[in-house]
Amino acid sequence: MGNKFIRAISAEEIAPGGMKTVELAGREIVICNCSGTYYAIQRRCGHMNAPLELGTLDGKYVTCGMHCAQFDITTGQALSGPVPTDLGNERLPPRVAAMMHKVAMQMQHVRTEGIRTYETKVEAGWVLVGQ
């Protein structure tokens, strides 16, 4: 079955290694320029929904800027979960420590899921994204 493509963005708007968010048919999508090849991924991180375009793109790997979960933009596969934060030897006020403990208890049940990818093609200088 043929896929319907929507014009998303001018190809020259994203430099190699860059990412840009677009909204297409009510979906938030990040277009990634991986050495001249364009990939489209869902905007929200598979860990805690942070916007992925605020992270970094290195080759075909996007790293979320919030907790450093990593994904393969060609497949959407989750490659790693969050990197643990370090509070060092800082002693938190008891109420803050109790809240952090509660958050940690809940966070341990958060799974990092893969992200959705979309088909792309470039035509006449435009990046088109499949629906």
Partner 1 sequence: MKTESRKEALQYFFAKVVGPMNFKFTPDVELKNFLLEQEVILEAKHGISFCPCQPIRHDRARDMQIVCPCIPFHREHFDAIKRCWCGLFVHIDVIDPNSLPQLPPKDVGLG
- Where on the chain is the footprint of partner 1 (CB under 8 A)? 58-59, 61, 70, 72, 75, 77-84, 86, 88, 112
Q: Which amino acid is at 110?
A: V
What minimum distance in Å lies between the beta carbon of 58 and partner 1? 7
Which residue do the tokens 């006449």 mark? 124
What minimum distance in Å lies between the beta carbon of 7 and partner 1? 31
CB nearer partner 1, residue 36 or residue 86? 86
Radius of gyration of the chain (CA): 18
CB nearer partner 1, residue 45 or residue 127? 45
CB nearer partner 1, residue 84 or residue 125? 84
Measure the CA angle with vertex 61, ends 55 and 12; round to 5°.
75
What minimum distance in Å lies between the beta carbon of 59 and partner 1? 6
CB nearer partner 1, residue 11 or residue 66? 66
d(CA 120, CA 131): 9
DSSP letter string, 25-91? TTEEEEEEEETTEEEEEESB-TTT--BGGGSEEETTEEE-TTT--EEETTT--EEE-PPPP--TTPP
What minimum distance in Å lies between the beta carbon of 107 and partner 1? 11
